Structure 1
Amino acid sequence: MFPAFVSSALIATAALVAPALHAQTWPAKPVTLVVPYPPGGSADILARTLGQKLGERIGQNVIVENKPGAGTAIGAKAVASSPADGYTLLLGTVSSQAINPAMNKVGYDPVKDFAAVSPVAAIPFVLVAHPSVPVKNVNDVLGMARAQPGKIGYASAGPGTSNHLAGELMASAGKVDLLHVPYKGSAPALNDVLSGHVPLMFDLLATALPNVQSGKLKPLAVTSRERSALLPEVPTARESGLPDYEVTAWFGIFAPAATPAPVVQKLNTELTAILKSPDIQKRLRDMGAEPETGSVQDYGTFVRAEADKWTGVVQKAGLVK
């Protein structure tokens, strides 16, 4: 029989060696990438684009599995409760990892139950106005809102959606009271802004662009940290008097929390190479998305900050269910 201290040393050594050995043999079978949205949308297209390239690099098929429902909770929860072996991943979003958990009982902790693997892309919003509205920038909107508290409306796809919370965050940052006008989806919201029934809307860059280019809508600011190459003449909200304002529909790759660190790092390395390739960058930018890369540590910090930020916005707006 081994002395107790020898047994303890062997156990400790095995605990250290096992993850490294797993990383050396990973992947030994196909990897599943769960998308918490239906087929055909931006998230699905993004996942299939990445999955194909990742499969080529790791020498295994990457199977994209759509698990929509409960505002992204069904797909995210399925991944959180999967074996932490690197064979089940999530294409997470600001909704699945920040907004939905802040509003609803989703059955998972967006920070504690996941390992943040890598950023993928972010799509900014554009604050747009009907051409008849006498504003040219964010400062004009804030000034109009101060003169008419609670009367300057902005349309959204519904309570708790990203374009609703973008307005809540701007109202809070600018210390004004904006009127939220919710619709059942982005299409009817956009239609009423185009017809002039509602003056403002935070619309995704990809869908706003045709209406901006045709002159049907007036762009006031983009909500990303930097200006968009697709609308280079339009300032950011940060440039327009709200220095800490940033809202994007971001996407990233997540694994179950206990996934071995070497596997997480290997995934990060492969995804970074994919996202830096010119063909993928072009494909994402054609979708209106800006490719993003970063270390495992930096991405974990970003996700925690986003979860905290949107929890505060949701609570202040009284949207917790």
Structure 2
Amino acid sequence: MSDAMWHTRRLLGRTALVTGLIFITGSAFAQAPFPNRPIRLVSGFAPGGATDVVARLIAQSLSDALGQSVVVDNKPGAAGNIAADFVARQPADGHTLYLANATLAMPSMFPKITFDVKKDLVPVSMIASGPSVLAVNPKLPVRSVRELVAYAQQNPGKLDFGSGGIGNITHMSMELFNYLAKVDIKHVPYKGGAPSTTAAVAGEVQVLMAAAAGTMAHIKAGTLVPLGVSGRTRAQALPDVPTIAEAGVAGYEATSWYGVVTAAGTPKAVVDRIDQAIRAGIKRPEVREKMLSQGMDPMEMGSEEFGRFLQTEIDKWAKIIARADIRAE
């Protein structure tokens, strides 16, 4: 055998070996089990709030179901958009998740948003929803939704409503009420649900839209009068209070919700496994009890159904945001 032929065969052998190693290594990576390292569950809000409470509940059950530690990472700011943008830019492997709330469905409210909700994120699983309560100060002479609508129409510009802040779900829920009921109750934003509730009790504003959990004590004490709940069905905590839709505002539905999304491009098998783990956690009695105590209704909604729901929410809120000309920085 000539030196040239020997060198050629040697080179071909090395090439085959390297090619084989690349194939084996690539296959190993492609087939790496999920999860193969700790999972990060990102919350877009500060510790202690409702979103953070849900994140920590789900983190523990996810960890138990998947056999990996799940760390809650709080990245507050810009109504959760900082956290959502961070997750959208992570590898699409399911190891970084975002605990989203209803604000994710309001991208048109944020002119400086740096990600595309529909292109950069994929829905994984809906976890819970929670209605708000439409209530009034007892000194206001109305005791039903129809009476409130009539009073607002007869006294234009004389009613104010308090919310947890500009762009907050309670703000948007009341703007939807204004739109569907054809009234103009003026918005007074507060720095959170508790201050807005206190203001309504004190009479600083006559009308309040607030989370059910934060109003229960005042409703029982008679310092707030509930007129309706914002969800599709009556709240378990307030079974005698009608929904706003059944009380006279046809088509009304607005709830705060919580769900997990991750980076677009994550394999469907990984998305499905995370969804199954979340569903298993929601079925735990202690998790359900904690959610109910926070005024939330546990839900089970997989990726495709959650995606359709999210699109419906985006379309609904875009109309309200445009009508009310709401812009948040």
TM over 0.5: yes
Inter-partner Cα distance in structure 2 for 1:18 and 1:277: 37
Inter-partner Cα distance in structure 1 for 2:157 and 2:172: 16
Q: What SS does the aligned partner of 2:132 have?
A: strand
Match of 1:191 in 2: 198
Counterpart contact for 2:200–2:207, Cα < 8 Å: yes
Question: Is 2:93 the counterpart of 1:85?
Answer: yes
Question: Is 2:251 the counterpart of 1:244?
Answer: yes
Structure 1 residues 260-281: Cα deviation after superposition (integer angstroms, max 9, x where no partner): 0111111111211221232221
Aligned residue runs from structure 1 range 39-58, under 5 A: 39-58=47-66
Question: Is 2:314 the counterpart of 1:282?
Answer: no
Structure 2: which 5+ residue stretches go unaligned?
Answer: 1-22
Aligned CA distance change for structure 1 residues 144 and 60 (closer, same or farther; 3 Å): same
Question: Is 2:322 the counterpart of 1:315?
Answer: yes
Q: CA deviation at 1:108?
A: 0.8
Q: CA deviation at 1:104?
A: 3.3
My pick for the range that moved more, 58-67 or 304-313, is 304-313
Q: What SS does the aligned partner of 1:251 have?
A: strand
Aligned residue runs from structure 1 range 99-248, under 5 A: 99=106, 101-248=108-255
Aligned CA distance change for structure 1 residues 58 and 101 (closer, same or farther; 3 Å): farther
Inter-partner Cα distance in structure 2 for 1:162 and 1:253: 18
Structure 1 residues 215-240: Cα deviation after superposition (integer angstroms, max 9, x where no partner): 11111101011101111000001111
- Taking structure 2 as the reference length, the TM-score comes to 0.88
Q: CA deviation at 1:19?
A: 12
Aligned CA distance change for structure 1 residues 20 and 141 (closer, same or farther; 3 Å): farther
Structure 1: which 5+ residue stretches go unaligned?
Answer: 1-13
Aligned CA distance change for structure 1 residues 269 and 278 (closer, same or farther; 3 Å): same
Question: Is 2:84 the counterpart of 1:76?
Answer: yes
Out of 278, 289, 302, the residue aligned to residue 295 of structure 1 is 302
Counterpart contact for 2:84–2:98, Cα < 8 Å: yes
Inter-partner Cα distance in structure 2 for 1:103 and 1:56: 37
Out of 35, 38, 42, the residue aligned to residue 30 of structure 1 is 38
Structure 1 residues 20-64: Cα deviation after superposition (integer angstroms, max 9, x where no partner): 964x71011111100011112111121111111110111110111
Inter-partner Cα distance in structure 2 for 1:115 and 1:107: 16
Inter-partner Cα distance in structure 2 for 1:135 and 1:63: 48
My pick for the range that moved more, 172-181 or 299-308, is 172-181
Inter-partner Cα distance in structure 2 for 1:143 and 1:256: 47
Inter-partner Cα distance in structure 1 for 2:287 and 2:165: 32
Inter-partner Cα distance in structure 2 for 1:269 and 1:183: 38
Q: What SS does the aligned partner of 1:51 have?
A: helix
What one-letter code is carried by the residue in structure 1 that aligns with 2:68? Q
Q: What SS does the aligned partner of 1:243 have?
A: coil
Counterpart contact for 1:73–1:100, Cα < 8 Å: no
Match of 2:10 in 1: none
- Taking structure 1 as the reference length, the TM-score comes to 0.90
Structure 1 residues 183-206: Cα deviation after superposition (integer angstroms, max 9, x where no partner): 343333222211123111001001
Question: Is 2:85 the counterpart of 1:63?
Answer: no
* RMSD over aligned Cα atoms: 2.0
Q: How many residue pairs get matched?
A: 304
Inter-partner Cα distance in structure 1 for 2:27 and 2:204: 62
The ranges of structure 1 where at least 4 consecutive aligned residues each deviate by more than 4 angstroms after the TM superposition are: 17-22
Structure 1 residues 164-217: Cα deviation after superposition (integer angstroms, max 9, x where no partner): 211110010111222222234333322221112311100100101111111111
Aligned CA distance change for structure 1 residues 18 and 277 (closer, same or farther; 3 Å): farther
Identity %: 35
Q: CA deviation at 1:100?
A: 5.0
Q: What SS does the aligned partner of 1:112 have?
A: helix
Work out which of the two has the higher radius of gyration on C-alpha atoms and give 1 or 2.
2
Q: CA deviation at 1:285?
A: 0.3
